[in-house]
């Protein structure tokens, strides 16, 4: 028993070390890449960007359907509270795969920034901060099977399905009505507000002993979601309400 616990602990630590390694390499490549491209002409990469965004859009759509269907099942059979505290997302016959795929996908999603750097587009703080913190939190939390994960995954899959579809269409050269981008950012803001709500409920119900989580996880998750809420709200204001209509930007 003691040996098994030791092995599990080692695996958890190994995953968490890899999370920091990925993020460290990502930061080095991003800012090193910007320096490298400074005196070089930008690359177009239109076709690779279309394929990249389209593949992530399809992946997110399937993930949203699979986790969303399971979420609806729990809501209809067990109610909202159980949907928040439920841990079966991590080990259900179908949701188990999509929960694991969700966590792993945070590494390849870092590739979004490669296109920004090579095409010499404006790289905003929100973009790289969001990528790093989501990867760290997802990889840290997955092994702990914390409550609220079902909501976090379903919301993220759903928003990314819209977001990457938008990127694919834009990369293909089609003009997308401005309100569509505004809707995506609005959904992202709503996602962050809901994330804070779920964390608050997890903390409340954890005190009653039937909602598995850890105080430090709730604190870090809440700080993360709060920072996203502020940053995405500021992004919305600066991009859509302050008259910066001429600027093109990414919503994630």
Which of 130, 131, 160, 212 is an active site residue? 130
Helix axis angle, 178-206 relative to 149-171, nearest 10°?
Answer: 170
CA atoms within 13 A on the CB side of 237: 6
Enter the DSSP assignment of 175: -
Six-digit token string for 49: 């960007």
Cβ-count burial 115-135 (b if 16+ within 10 Å, e if not): bbbbeeeebbebbbebbbbbb
Nearest to 135 by CA among 112, 104, 161, 162: 104
Matching residue, tokens 């809420």: 229
CA separation for the pair 60, 68 (Å, rounded): 11
Helices 95-105, 46-78: axis angle to 10 degrees equals 140
Spatial contact of 147 and 212, defined as CB atoms under 8 Å apart: yes
Task: Give the pair of three-digit tokens for residue 67.
Answer: 């986790």
Tokens 């188990």 belong to residue: 96
212 in active site? no
- In this structure, what are the phi and psi dihedrals at residue 126, rounded to the nearest 5 degrees? -55, -40
Determine the straight-line distance between the first and last CA of the chain, rounded to whole angstroms: 44
Q: Which residues are catalytic?
A: 130
């Amino acid at each position: 028993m003691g040996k098994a616990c030791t092995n599990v602990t080692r695996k958890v630590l190994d995953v968490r070390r890899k999370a920091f390694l990925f993020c460290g390499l990502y930061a080095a490549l991003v800012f090193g890449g910007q320096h490298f491209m400074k005196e070089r002409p930008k690359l177009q990469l239109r076709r690779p960007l279309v394929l990249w965004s389209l593949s992530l859009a399809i992946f997110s759509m399937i993930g949203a359907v699979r986790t969303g269907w399971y979420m609806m099942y729990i809501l209809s059979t067990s109610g909202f509270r159980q949907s928040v505290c439920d841990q079966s997302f991590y080990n259900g016959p179908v949701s188990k795969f999509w929960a694991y795929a969700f966590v792993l996908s945070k590494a390849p999603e870092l590739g979004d920034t490669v296109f920004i750097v090579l095409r010499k587009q404006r790289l905003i703080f929100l973009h790289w901060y969001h990528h790093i913190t989501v990867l760290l939190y997802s990889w840290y939390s997955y092994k702990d099977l914390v409550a609220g994960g079902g909501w976090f995954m379903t919301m993220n899959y759903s928003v990314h399905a819209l977001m990457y579809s938008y990127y694919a269409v834009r990369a293909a050269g089609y003009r997308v009505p401005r309100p569509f981008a505004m809707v995506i950012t609005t959904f992202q803001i709503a996602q962050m507000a809901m994330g804070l709500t779920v964390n608050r409920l997890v903390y409340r119900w954890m005190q009653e002993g039937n909602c598995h989580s850890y105080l430090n996880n709730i604190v870090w998750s809440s700080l993360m979601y709060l920072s996203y809420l502020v940053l995405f709200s500021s992004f919305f204001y600066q991009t859509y309400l302050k008259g910066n209509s001429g600027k093109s930007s990414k919503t994630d």
